[in-house]
Structure 1
Amino acid sequence: MRLLLLACLRAQTGNATTAARIQSHLHDAGHTCILKDASRCESLTEIANLTSSDQFDAALAIHLYKGGRHLQGSRIPFGIIFGGTDINEDVRNEEKRRVMGAVLEEARFAVAFTMKMKELAAAEWPDARKKIYVQYQAFRFLKCFVTGIPADTGDLHVFLLICGLRRVKDPLYLVDVFSDWHRNDPSVHLGIIGPAVDPLFTSEVKEKIKRMVQSKAVSLHAFLNSLSTQRSRLAIETEAMDLNIPVLARNIPGNAAIIKHKDTGLLFSDPQEFVVLSKSLMNDPIMEREIVTRAKDYVKKHHSWECERKAYQNLVLRLQ
């Protein structure tokens, strides 16, 4: 089949990597899949004109509102992939909610990344429950980075936050409490790594970091996730879990959907709790070992690249 895949394709974002991954799965099955940046569509008629030609047999879109609304009334069949913004933000806007409901009604199928996301969507649009499938995301792209970090950590404890530097990612959430902790315990270090997606906010981050006690991060102890909304790309967490690295994540639904507290990771509700949980992890190697073992088993079961590939390859057959 000739497939059109609509998504917001800004570089270094979860949407872009998810779209590229799905495109790869479909190419492996012999389909032709063309990516189109929904955020660059100048009008709703642009995609309508594209799909009314004979270029494509079917379409997919990531996000019901950002991508799916361009496919309303399309002459070709399409499927939809939920984004966190759909369920946690756009649904609060009555007009966007109406549009998303209409898109979901037309779609042959919809994909949710977690069971929690499916249940939230089904609560909003009960008639669509049977067409919503759960397919956890699979990830491959972090291992080349992590394997380059020296294994000999000595007495250092380095916490690494990887995210695009923009306000919604909230990279400064733990800076103040971590700075205080570092003054009392120089063995703990915080590293923030990510592209300067928002230049103005990046300057704020740099200015804030200048006031922290600086040191060289030479090892990796844990990954943090301090995202302030559900628009979390869970790649960092699941890759860390697969690599036997314990994960501490902010206790929001998007994170809690894949991390079970004190079972496959640790969830914190505020910076102070983060410090308490981090200390408990540092001082209890048995707990750490049990958490990383269960986390790796979880990732192997739910975030398999092969399972995701087969799922999308089978789903697009519904568009024939």
Structure 2
Amino acid sequence: MYDSPAEIAHLTSSDKFDAALAIHLYKGGRLLQGSRIPFGIIFGGTDVNEDIKCKEKRQVMGAVLERARFAVAFTVEMKELAAAEWVGVSSFYTGIKTTPSETFDWYTFLQNAAIPAASGPVHLFLLVCGLRRVKDPLYLVEAFSEWHRKDPSVHLGIIGPAVRVPSSLCLCCCRAPGVHVLQELPQQELHAALRSCLALVNSSSSEGMSAAILEAMDLEVPVLARNIPGNAAIIKHKETGLLFSTAQEFVALSKSLMNDPVLEKGIVTRAKEYVEKHHSWEGERKTYQSLVQRLQ
């Protein structure tokens, strides 16, 4: 709703506001410049991974951090990236909570997605992401379509909102055999769809910490993720998930997952244990409560 620091400064000039939290050091944090109230910053991922490369944005983010009471990074790696440029960055893992719908109909979902469920078994991989360039939804499309031509049972569903993305990108996905651009789902239905699919896919070129990955782990769904720092920070290859560096490696690992139930069982069991230990939403709540005390 707001586009400039002046608008936020005017908004917070009343006595209705005591403090603020900004998510994403540049997109959210820049709007708090000039505001009279104390605030804390929560990194988003692209701010540390991408925006820091731009001199103008880096200067703005540095100015915001000078005034912030605290700054939060979700991984040690992200904290170290930020600390190399700025100081005073804390770090903790984010928590998640999954609530799959109990009334979700998997076969209706496949029918609405135009996936031929009746002709035989369906092996659906779900790529959950906002359709924007940094999520790189086209990364796997060509290789996956080639695989689908040889094995029509495999399908890739790309599900999420279109965020500042050219229509040609969506069109390219829609025309690829075996690849389906699906409508957004409410969170509970999305969790239910995840629980029914073969695996969760992440093909991002840059990532902070993917909530979709953590949710899949909690739902005991295997994760295949691109081997980038943000993903490797929470996935140990062949222990809590599978990391791929090329589209061809993704296909090979997917085939291994489909044909090796022991591998799948081991991955989802260890991933569930990891999430329960490191990504508790109760723990996150307590951490934020303690951080907010610093704003008083």
TM-score by length of 1: 0.77
Report the counterpart of residue 110 of structure 1 in structure 2. Answer: 71
Match of 2:154 among 188, 195, 203: 188
Residues 62 and 145 (structure 1 numbering): CA distance in 2 closer, same or farther, change over 3 Å? farther
* Aligned counterparts of 2:24 and 2:176: Cα–Cα separation in 1: 39
Pick aligned residue for 1:144 from 98, 101, 106: 101
- Residue 28 of structure 2 corresponds to which residue in structure 1? 67
d(CA) in 1 for partners of 2:10, 2:210: 35
Cross-structure match for 2:264: 288
Structure 2 counterpart SS, 1:176: helix
Shift of the 148–84 alpha-carbon distance from structure 1 to 2, 3 Å rule, reads same
The amino acid of 2:71's aligned partner reads A
Q: Does 1:209 align with 2:174?
A: yes
Letter of the 1:209 counterpart: C
For 1:214 and 1:208, the matched residues in 2 are separated by: 6
SS state at 1:191 partner: strand
Match of 2:82 among 106, 121, 130: 121
Distance in 2 between residues matched to 1:43 and 1:197, nearest whole Å: 20
Deviation at 1:135, TM superposition (A): 3.5
Displacement of 1:233 in angstroms is: 6.2
**Is the 8 Å Cα contact of residues 139 and 235 (structure 1) preserved in structure 2?**
no
- Give distance in 1, aligned partners of 2:98 and 2:205: 25
User: 1:256, 1:274 → 2: CA distance?
Assistant: 15
CA distance in 1 between counterparts of 2:5 and 2:55 reads 19
Question: In the aligned structure 2, how far is the partner of 1:67 from the partner of 1:93?
Answer: 16
1:163 counterpart residue number: 129
1:255 counterpart residue number: 231
- Give the whole-Å Cα distance in 2 for the aligned partners of 1:200 and 1:96: 24
Distance 1:73 1:227 in 2: 34
Deviations 1:259-302 (CA, angstroms, capped at 9, x unpaired): 11111101111100101111121222111111101100111112
1:28: which partner in 2?
A: none
Gaps of 5+ in 2: 108-116, 183-192
1:220 to 176, 194, 197: 197
2:76 matched to 1:77? no
8 Å Cα contact 1:113/1:137 also seen in 2: no
Q: Does 1:134 align with 2:92?
A: yes
Matches of 1:211 and 1:82, distance apart in 2: 35
Could you say if the C-alpha distance between residues 108 and 207 of structure 1 is closer, same or farther in structure 2, counting changes exceeding 3 Å?
Answer: closer
CA distance in 1, matches of 2:35, 2:130: 34
| Contact kept in structure 2, 1:158 and 1:191, CA below 8 Å | yes
From the superposition, tell whether residues 101 and 199 of structure 1 become closer, same or farther in structure 2 (CA, over 3 Å): closer
Checking the alignment, whether the CA contact within 8 Å between 1:80 and 1:109 is kept in structure 2 is yes
Cα-Cα RMSD: 2.7
TM-score normalised by the chain length of structure 2: 0.82
Q: CA deviation at 1:178?
A: 1.1
The amino acid of 2:226's aligned partner reads R
Higher mean C-alpha displacement, 273-282 vs 71-80: 71-80
Flag structure 1 segments of 5+ consecutive residues without an equivalent.
1-39
The equivalent residue for 1:229 is 206
Give SS of 1:240's match: helix
Hey, what does 1:303 align to over in structure 2? 279
In structure 2, what residue type is equivalent to 1:242? D
- 1:16-27 counterparts in 2 under 5 A? none
| CA distance in 1 between partners of 2:67 and 2:241 (Å) | 39
**TM-superposition CA deviations, 1:57-90 (whole Å, max 9, x none):** 1111112222112223432211111111211111
Q: Which amino acid aligns with 1:228?
A: S
What is the number of equivalent residue pairs in this alignment?
A: 273
| Equivalent pair of 2:237/2:243 in contact (CA under 8 Å) | yes
Q: Secondary structure at the match of 2:17?
A: coil
Between the aligned partners of 1:234 and 1:168, the Cα distance in structure 2 is 13
Structure 2 CA distance for aligned equivalents of residues 224 and 81 of structure 1 = 25
Corresponding residue to 1:245 among 196, 217, 221: 221
